[in-house]
Amino acid sequence: MQLRILQQNEDKTDKLFQSLDCQTLLQIYDEYYPKTGFNLPWVAYLIIKENQVVGSCSFTSQPNDGKVEIAYWTFQEFEGQGIASFACKELIKITQNTDKKVTVTAKTAPEHNASTRILENNKFIFTEIVQDEEIGDAWLWTLIPEEK
């Protein structure tokens, strides 16, 4: 598996984007990038496996107050293959390679599920309940800093 930056204004007719999930993803980022900006490396990434887009992952924006939030989405037909776990690890690596002082966070629905297990397996801890515009009450997770 590998990550590829989801560029602004991708060619929607590219064979790589033929799935409905890919078209939905492109539409989301056509609206999202103008709001948040396109600030490398704090952008969205395509998750590619065997020359096929199987999901996406992203930073919800560039770091703010020393924190950055990550998100990931595995397309339904590819769930259960470790794709979201791979994405989570890669976003952590990008953050640590860019600025080790930035704290990585994530939000989930307020219930134990596959996403919370992925975060726990990657050394995130539940921090508090926060408000999220899409979820409403959400669980905020924070990556435990590595020991120096």
Q: Chain-wide mean pLDDT for the chain?
A: 94
Note the pLDDT tens digit of each residue in 103-140: 999 999 999 999 999 999 999 999 999 999 888 999 99
Structural domains counted in the chain: 1
Using CA atoms, how far residue 99 sits from 32, 45, 49, 73, in Å, is: 24, 18, 28, 24
**Within a domain: 62:** yes
**Within a domain: 129:** yes
DSSP-assigned beta bridge partners for residue 48: 2, 53
Structural domain including 15 reads 2-143
Note the pLDDT tens digit of each residue in 1-27: 999 999 998 999 999 999 999 999 999
**Within a domain: 148:** no
pTM: 0.93
**Within a domain: 108:** yes
Q: What is the CATH number of the domain that holds 134?
A: 3.40.630.30
HEC letters along the chain: CEEEECCCCCCCCCHHHCCHHHHHHHHHHHHHHHHHCCECCECEEEEEECCEEEEEEEECCCCECCEEEEEEEECHHHCCCCHHHHHHHHHHHHHHHHCCCCEEEEEECCCCCHHHHHHHHCCEEEEEEEEECCCEEEEEEEECCCCC
Preceding omega of 145 cis (within 30 degrees of 0): no
pLDDT, residue 146, reads: 72
